């Protein structure tokens, strides 16, 4: 298989690292498809037949915040890898999440991209992660995200602003620690496979992070 011009980028970063923004910028710049687990799930749900019992059960779990069937999500991820390989390649945004997933997913990535796979992690301190995430409030009526600390009611619907349970400092610290321990295992695994893991300082401006990623990719 000719893997010469195709590339895959695995992008990782803790909550608040601006990973989503960077994935979007890179996808546009390098003409790669951004593949995010939540997008895959939403597309699958949108395409499901209304009387598909398996999918309805997964939808119910998703709505109530329960973990989906991980085998199924992995199967969907592998399908998405295969379909993105028809184009220039992909950016894996936020996956693999665990080392067990990395083992399967990287094997399939290598099938399509050979060793043309780059691994980028955006580094951010725990304090900065907490600071950035606890600033985020949402409106009670529609969950519109509000970042400006001077705003007191939602500009779109006038409803009061609240901090989501996910965004209280204690929860952010827990998510941060889980991210660090899972990522350390994934990085060990990738390093053993001979990958060079690129680390970017995530405490710079969005533009500087983007520029640093591009510089270090080549």
Identify which of residues 98 and 144 has a Cβ nearer to Zn ion in the complex: 144
142 lies in the binding site for Zn ion (CB under 5 A): yes
Binding of Zn ion by 138 (CB under 5 A): no
- 3-state secondary structure (DSSP) of residue 153: strand
Work out the number of other CB atoms within 10 angstroms of the CB of residue 134.
15
Task: Establish if 144 lies at the interface with Zn ion (CB under 5 A).
Answer: yes
- For Zn ion, the binding residue among 9, 130, 154, 187 (CB under 5 A) is 154
Q: How many residues bind Zn ion (CB under 5 A)?
A: 6
Q: Which of 107, 156 has the CB closer to Zn ion? A: 156
Distance in angstroms (rounded) separating the CA atoms of residues 32 and 72: 24
Task: Tell me the closest approach of the beta carbon of residue 59 to Zn ion, in angstroms.
Answer: 24
In angstroms, give the least distance from the CB of 143 to Zn ion.
Answer: 7
Judged by CB, which is closer to Zn ion: 104, or 159? 159
Question: According to CB under 5 A, which one of 29, 79, 157, 208 is a site residue for Zn ion?
Answer: 157
CB of 139 to Zn ion, least distance (A): 3
Can you tell me the distance from the alpha carbon of 32 to that of 113, in angstroms, rounded to the nearest whole number?
Answer: 13
Across 115-164, the runs of DSSP E, i.e. the strands, are 117-123, 137-139, 145-146, 161-162
Rounded CA-CA distance 123/17 in Å is 7
Choose between 84 and 138: whose C-beta lies nearer to Zn ion.
138
Quick one: CA dihedral 169, 19, 92, 213, positive or negative?
negative
**Which range binds Zn ion by CB under 5 A, 53-61, 75-83, 142-150, 182-190?**
142-150
CB of 145 to Zn ion, least distance (A): 9
Choose between 141 and 180: whose C-beta lies nearer to Zn ion: 141
Tokens of 22: 């960077």
Which range in 73-81, 114-122, 140-148, 160-168 contacts Zn ion by CB under 5 A? 140-148
Q: How many CA atoms lie within 13 A of 65 on its CB side?
A: 2
Report the residue number, 44 or 137, with the smaller CB distance to Zn ion: 137
Which C-beta is closer to Zn ion: that of 23 or that of 154? 154
| CA-based nearest residue to 73, from 84, 62, 88, 83 | 62
Q: Which residues bind Zn ion (CB under 5 A)?
A: 139, 142, 144, 154, 156-157
């Amino acid at each position: 298989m000719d893997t010469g011009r195709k590339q895959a980028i695995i992008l990782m970063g803790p909550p608040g690292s601006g990973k989503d923004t960077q994935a979007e910028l890179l996808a546009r710049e390098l003409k790669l498809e951004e593949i995010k687990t939540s997008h895959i799930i939403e597309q699958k749900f949108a395409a499901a037949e209304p009387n598909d019992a398996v999918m309805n059960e997964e939808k119910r779990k998703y709505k109530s915040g329960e973990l989906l069937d991980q085998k199924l999500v992995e199967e969907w991820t592998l399908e998405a890898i295969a379909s993105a390989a028809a184009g220039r390649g992909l950016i894996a945004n936020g996956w693999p999440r665990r080392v067990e997933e990395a083992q399967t997913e990287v094997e399939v990535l290598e099938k399509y991209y050979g060793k043309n796979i780059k691994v980028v992690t955006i580094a951010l301190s725990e304090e900065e992660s907490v600071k950035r995430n606890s600033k985020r409030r949402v409106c009670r009526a529609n969950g519109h995200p509000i970042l400006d600390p001077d705003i007191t009611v939602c500009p779109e619907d006038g409803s009061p602003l609240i901090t989501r349970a996910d965004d209280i400092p204690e929860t952010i610290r827990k998510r941060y620690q889980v991210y660090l321990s899972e990522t350390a295992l994934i990085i060990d695994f990738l390093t053993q496979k001979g990958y060079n893991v690129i680390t970017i300082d995530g405490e710079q401006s969005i533009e500087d992070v983007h520029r640093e990623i591009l510089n270090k990719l080549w």
